[in-house]
């Protein structure tokens, strides 16, 4: 495997490493005029600009699961996986226009705080614990595992565990300074990851062009991808029949054609971008115009992410088919799609390999830092301050936040060390989407009804979030054997391992629909207006001309993309 790093590669990477660290320290020292308050430490005290908000959201979102997991999904299924990115751009419009005005009006710092103000402390505590387990056991561990896997494949040797430690320490260094440091270093991180990502995409396309004798141009390489992997350039997969090969059934199980746009695709994105402390925290300290502009800026950046994280995976697929990448995939010859991106990186020339490694590291570290900052915020403000030490001073809360960051990183290292959660076998991107999907339907239901229906009651919300989880587990794991393979609600397909599965995005849609119905039924038995209902004032959702312009441009670009690849 061509994984040797030259002196130039190491120098480029060290420039990135030292540069980000020095900039983070500068931000920390320049902003620290007095002792940090909790609002300053956890929310940056409203000091993030619109471009910092947008860049930070993308830097925290685009991580190992995209660079490695989505590139691996691009290898397996192609452009259809871009639905997660392009639907997200539409969802960010919804969040900017409808969610953020309510959050800012209610002076929300954390998502559990919103649930307490709208419902009650019981639901807030339940969800605080849910989110902490999800962020640590699924997200944080997955990011660290996939990132270490990719970088170890690139560096070579027995470096996996060393890289785990180094990534964790770098993330700890960035996040310990609080949200200001995370937010502003994310601007640098997103510049590095975009430039490095685009370089990797360009090199992968020219590599394909060269391998097929087309002269080495990026455009001719892209045309070669379409010619040699035409099945990888369709957004919609047809519903399998009895004669459909298992490889195509597997694609449909991951991305179930047009049906996913009527079900889980919206649920996973609305939950992630609108009800997720990890993401919304960047905008919660800003004014409405700044928050909206930053969120819409993030949405426009999302449109280009498939070029960076998906196309190299398709290029790796074409090279693998052509026999040019077999030795790059595994020392044993076994196929592992999560190695596709790092395999492409091994072909980069001296210096550019260091830049791409810096881009990958930037994505990983930014996500790790953002995630542990959110874990720290929820634990400190919604559990420690609320239940364990109500009289805790601002200084003590900040230190508890820092200790929480350290604890979360130590736990993630322990889980990642021998892949105790089986992330490698599941496939990185699918692992995160599937297990996040167990709680997404219930969470989204309680947020949507809580924000926009005054009659929603606290008992309905508690039942809803628990029922959403139970139904997600039922539809994902038990429904085919209990209810059958073909019903009015779903079709289960063979999974290639002797069993039948419902596509998990369809499971999310079914769980969400039943949860919403259950919550509405319970709420109708209560008062006509809940005592904690949110008053939506006239004009609350009105947008400026600048905001409207950004929305129209985003929608036109999405329309063009779907027209091209439908």
- Which tokens in the block code for residue 282? 């960047």
- Structurally, the chain folds into a number of domains equal to 1
Q: What is the pLDDT of residue 393?
A: 86
* 503 within some domain: no
pLDDT of 430 higher than 80: no
CB neighbours (10 Å) of residue 332? 7
Q: Please, what is the average pLDDT of the chain? A: 84
Q: What is the pLDDT of residue 260?
A: 87
* 402 within some domain: yes
Query: Where residue 355 falls among pLDDT bands split at 50, 70, 90?
Result: confident
Parent domain of 243: 7-428
* 285 within some domain: yes
Can you give the three-state secondary structure of 277-304, one letter per residue?
HHHHCCCCCCCHHHHHHHHHHHHHHHHH
Q: How many helices (H) and strands (E) does the chain have?
A: 29, 2
Query: Where residue 323 falls among pLDDT bands split at 50, 70, 90?
Result: confident
**How do residues 146-170 score in pLDDT, each as one tens digit?**
788 778 877 776 788 888 898 888 8
* 22 within some domain: yes
Q: Are 250 and 80 in contact (CB under 8 A)?
A: no
**How do residues 483-494 score in pLDDT, each as one tens digit?**
999 999 999 999
* 526 within some domain: no
Q: Distance (Å, rounded) from C-alpha 178 to C-alpha 28? A: 8
Q: Which DSSP helix (H) or strand (E) runs through 493?
A: strand 493-494
Q: Are 207 and 319 in contact (CB under 8 A)?
A: yes
* CATH at residue 303: 1.20.1730.10
> Strands 500-501 and 493-494, how do they pair?
antiparallel
Q: Distance (Å, rounded) from C-alpha 542 to C-alpha 412? A: 43
* 434 within some domain: no
Query: Where residue 416 falls among pLDDT bands split at 50, 70, 90?
Result: confident
* 78 within some domain: yes
- Which tokens in the block code for residue 78? 């192609």
Whole-prediction pTM value? Answer: 0.85
- Which tokens in the block code for residue 87? 């639907």
* 263 within some domain: yes
**How do residues 31-83 score in pLDDT, each as one tens digit?**
555 555 566 666 555 567 888 888 878 877 777 667 777 788 888 888 888 88
């Amino acid at each position: 495997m061509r994984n040797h790093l030259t002196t130039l590669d190491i120098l480029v990477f060290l420039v990135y490493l030292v540069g980000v660290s020095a900039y983070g320290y500068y931000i920390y020292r320049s902003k620290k005029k007095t002792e940090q308050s909790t609002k300053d430490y956890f929310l940056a005290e409203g000091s993030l600009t619109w471009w910092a908000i947008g860049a930070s959201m993308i830097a925290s979102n685009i991580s190992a699961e995209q660079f490695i997991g989505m590139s691996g999904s691009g290898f397996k299924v192609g452009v259809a996986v871009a639905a997660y990115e392009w639907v997200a751009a539409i969802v960010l419009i919804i969040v900017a226009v409808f969610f953020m005005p309510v959050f800012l009006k209610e002076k929300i710092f954390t998502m559990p705080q919103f649930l307490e103000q709208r419902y009650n402390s019981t639901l807030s505590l339940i969800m605080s614990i849910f989110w902490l387990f999800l962020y640590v056991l699924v997200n944080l561990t997955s990011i660290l595992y996939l990132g270490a896997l990719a970088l170890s494949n690139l560096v070579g040797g027995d470096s996996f565990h060393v890289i785990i430690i180094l990534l964790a320490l770098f993330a700890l260094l960035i996040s310990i300074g609080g949200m200001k440091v995370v937010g502003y270093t994310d601007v640098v991180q997103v510049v590095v990851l975009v430039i490095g990502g685009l370089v990797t995409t360009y090199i992968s396309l020219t590599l394909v062009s060269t391998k097929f004798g087309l002269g080495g141009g990026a455009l001719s390489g892209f045309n070669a991808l379409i010619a040699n992997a035409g099945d990888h350039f369709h957004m919609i997969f047809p519903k399998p029949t009895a004669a459909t090969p298992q490889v195509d059934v597997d694609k449909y199980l991951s991305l179930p054609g047009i049906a996913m746009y009527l079900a889980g695709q919206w649920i996973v994105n609305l939950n992630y971008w609108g009800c997720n402390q990890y993401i919304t925290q960047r905008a919660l300290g800003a004014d409405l115009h700044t928050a909206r502009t930053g969120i819409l800026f993030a949405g426009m950046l999302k449109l280009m992410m498939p070029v960076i994280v998906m196309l190299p995976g398709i290029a790796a697929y074409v090279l693998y088919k052509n026999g040019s990448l077999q030795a790059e995939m595994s020392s044993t010859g076994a196929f592992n799609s999560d190695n596709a991106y790092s395999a492409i990186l091994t072909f980069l020339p001296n210096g550019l390999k260091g830049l791409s490694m810096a881009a990958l590291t930037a994505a990983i570290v930014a996500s790790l830092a953002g995630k542990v900052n959110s874990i720290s915020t929820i634990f400190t403000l919604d559990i420690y301050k609320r239940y364990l030490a109500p009289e805790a001073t601002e200084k003590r809360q900040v230190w508890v936040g820092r200790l929480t960051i350290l604890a979360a990183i130590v736990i993630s290292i322990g889980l990642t060390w021998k892949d105790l959660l089986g992330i490698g076998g599941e496939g990185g991107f699918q692992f995160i989407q599937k297990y996040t999907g167990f709680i997404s339907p219930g969470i989204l239901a309680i947020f949507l009804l809580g924000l926009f229906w005054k009659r929603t009651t606290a008992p309905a919300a508690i039942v809803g979030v628990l029922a959403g989880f139970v139904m997600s587990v039922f539809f994902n794991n038990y429904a085919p054997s209990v209810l059958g393979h073909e019903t009015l609600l779903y079709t289960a397909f063979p999974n290639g391992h002797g069993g039948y599965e419902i596509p998990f995005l369809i499971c999310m849609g079914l769980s969400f629909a039943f949860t919403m119905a259950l919550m509405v039924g319970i709420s109708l038995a209560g008062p006509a207006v809940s005592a904690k209902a949110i008053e939506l004032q006239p004009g609350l959702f009105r947008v400026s001309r600048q905001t409207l312009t950004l929305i129209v441009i985003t929608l036109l670009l999405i329309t063009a993309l779907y027209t091209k690849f439908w």
